[in-house]
């Protein structure tokens, strides 16, 4: 998930009661909710491909999360102890309680990250296997509303705090409306209406003093609602996967292939629209699935040959590149296409991960175009070009 969601979850956890366990528990909660993303430091020593290789790696694993959670609490304790010594006062932090806070909240980070289709590697360093929940989109505006709303009501005690929350709400509202107006985003009108209605509801709740009446119960209710919401998405995901399996058998039988893997992945702010991938021993198929519109249940089907270097000299040559090795180690549904194999222009091997994009569509670290020597790319008998 995005770091705003992680931060809001950490703050909501503090307001649900963890802040009472020790001084500085609120700040520790917010930092603990984000501490697994400390793997961003690899950018200081490498490029974006180094980051792709290590992101959601050891810092998101079970052992890594435990170590980072413990280390964060110890850092808070050490800083507080040093300040106490300099000011000749006793240390205020309750170490055991702060360790509990840090460990509990830091564990929410890999849990939330597992829910989306990027996945995590929780068994590192013993196993590099990826695990994917596939039922929550990596950026979820409903999560912003749920946890952000709870935090707004429970922390808006000064004019400055209110102003900062209104500024954040304005920025997010602009982003949500801009995305909802994109061509092809069919649930845009419903999203805009729901978002604005919730913002107005939160402002009214603040004005009538809901936080004074309910206190930390608001944060507890946010977590309870979040569990129900994610559970509902998980149930819809099961329905989507069942439908994809049925479609996969049809696709594979028509091509004389065998299904090796299927996936149904969430889309932005629409729990009834799913991006699907069916993988066989020869190809990967990408299409969209609607759970509510029978006329759109199976659309935009595209077939891609799998990225098998042994089938193409150009792909074989490009796969030796460091960037390609990292990309193929990360990609869940890798495909490759050779463009310009006639050598009249530049010969490119285009890699893509069908979770995010298709060959020829630049999407940052989720696609890669590698030029190859014309003498390699010119062997048309061995090049697969779709």
Kindly tell me the sign of the dihedral angle through the C-alpha atoms of 167, 172, 173, 178: positive
Contact in structure between 339 and 324 (CB atoms under 8 Å):
no
Separation of alpha carbons 147 and 130, rounded Å = 28
Q: What is the pLDDT of residues 329-380, one digit of tens each?
A: 999 999 988 876 666 666 788 899 999 998 877 777 788 988 887 655 454 4
Separation of alpha carbons 195 and 104, rounded Å = 30
Q: What is the pLDDT of residues 158-169, one digit of tens each?
A: 999 999 999 999
Separation of alpha carbons 305 and 282, rounded Å = 6
Q: How far is CA 3 from the centre of its chain?
A: 10
Kindly tell me the sign of the dihedral angle through the C-alpha atoms of 17, 21, 26, 30: negative
Q: What is the pTM of this model?
A: 0.92
Q: pLDDT band for position 297 (50/70/90)?
A: low
Look-up of token digits 């991960």? 353
What contacts 24+ positions apart, CB below 8 Å, involve 294-298? 297/243, 298/247
User: Could you give the domains of the chain?
Assistant: 1-127 (no CATH), 235-305 (3.10.450), 309-377 (no CATH)
Report the pLDDT value the prediction gives residue 261, as an integer from 0 to 100. 94
What contacts 24+ positions apart, CB below 8 Å, involve 272-280? 272/236, 273/186, 273/187, 274/237, 274/240, 274/244, 275/355, 276/240, 276/244, 276/247, 277/333, 277/354, 277/355, 278/244, 278/247, 278/248, 278/251, 278/252, 279/306, 279/333, 280/251, 280/252, 280/255
Average pLDDT over residues 262-286: 94
H-helix segments, 209-291: 210-214, 217-255
Report the pLDDT value the prediction gives residue 314, as an integer from 0 to 100. 81
Contact in structure between 261 and 233 (CB atoms under 8 Å):
no
Contact partners, residue 88, CB within 8 Å, separation at least 6: none
Look-up of token digits 């590192």? 124
Report the pLDDT value the prediction gives residue 185, as an integer from 0 to 100. 81
Report the pLDDT value the prediction gives residue 361, as an integer from 0 to 100. 74
Q: What is the pLDDT of residues 125-138, one digit of tens each?
A: 999 999 999 999 99
Contact in structure between 131 and 119 (CB atoms under 8 Å):
yes
Separation of alpha carbons 361 and 366, rounded Å = 9
Separation of alpha carbons 65 and 286, rounded Å = 34
What contacts 24+ positions apart, CB below 8 Å, involve 223-226? 223/12, 223/13, 223/16, 225/146, 226/143, 226/146, 226/147
Q: Which two tokens stand for residue 5?
A: 């969601």
Residue that wins the pLDDT comparison between 110 and 366:
110
188-207 and 159-180 are packed helices; what angle lies between their axes, rounded to 10 degrees? 170
Contact in structure between 256 and 188 (CB atoms under 8 Å):
no
- Give the pairing of strands 270-280 and 334-339: unpaired
Segment (H or E) for 47: none
Report the pLDDT value the prediction gives residue 309, as an integer from 0 to 100. 56
Q: pLDDT band for position 88 (50/70/90)?
A: confident
Contact in structure between 120 and 330 (CB atoms under 8 Å):
no
Q: What is the pLDDT of residues 208-240, one digit of tens each?
A: 999 999 999 999 999 999 999 999 999 999 999
């Amino acid at each position: 998930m995005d770091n705003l969601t992680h931060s809001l979850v950490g703050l909501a956890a503090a307001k649900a009661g963890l802040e009472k366990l020790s001084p500085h528990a609120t700040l520790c909660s917010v930092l603990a909710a984000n501490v697994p993303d400390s793997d961003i430091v690899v950018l200081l020593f490498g490029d974006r491909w180094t980051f792709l290789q290590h992101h959601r790696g050891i810092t998101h694993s079970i052992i890594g999360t435990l170590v980072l959670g413990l280390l964060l609490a110890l850092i808070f304790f050490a800083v507080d102890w040093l300040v106490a010594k300099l000011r000749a006062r006793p240390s205020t932090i309750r170490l055991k309680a702060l360790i509990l806070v840090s460990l509990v909240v830091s564990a929410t980070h890999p849990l939330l990250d597992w829910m989306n289709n990027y996945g995590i590697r929780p068994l590192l360093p013993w196993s590099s296997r990826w695990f994917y929940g596939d039922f929550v989109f990596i950026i979820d505006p409903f999560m912003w509303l749920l946890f952000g709303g709870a935090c707004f009501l429970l922390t808006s005690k000064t004019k400055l705090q209110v102003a900062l929350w209104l500024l954040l709400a304005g920025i997010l509202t602009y982003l949500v409306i801009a995305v909802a107006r994109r061509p092809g985003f069919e649930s845009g009108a419903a999203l805009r209406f729901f978002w604005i209605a919730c913002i107005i509801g939160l402002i009214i709740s603040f004005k009538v003093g809901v936080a004074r009446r309910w206190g930390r119960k608001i944060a507890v209710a946010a977590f309870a609602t979040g569990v129900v919401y994610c559970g509902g998405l998980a149930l819809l995901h099961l329905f989507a996967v069942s439908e994809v399996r049925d479609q996969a058998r049809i696709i594979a039988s028509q091509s004389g292939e065998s299904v090796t893997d299927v996936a149904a992945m969430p889309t932005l702010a629409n729990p009834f629209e799913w991006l699907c991938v069916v993988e066989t021993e020869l190809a990967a198929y990408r299409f969209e699935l609607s759970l509510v519109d029978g006329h759109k249940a199976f659309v935009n089907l595209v077939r891609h040959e799998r990225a098998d270097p042994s089938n193409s000299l150009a792909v074989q040559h490009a796969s030796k590149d460091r960037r390609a090795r990292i990309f193929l180690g990360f990609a869940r549904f890798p495909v490759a296409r050779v463009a310009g194999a006639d050598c009249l222009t530049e010969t490119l091997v285009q890699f893509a991960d069908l979770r995010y994009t298709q060959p020829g569509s630049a999407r940052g670290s989720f696609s890669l175009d590698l030029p190859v020597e014309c003498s390699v790319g010119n062997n048309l008998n061995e090049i697969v070009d779709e």
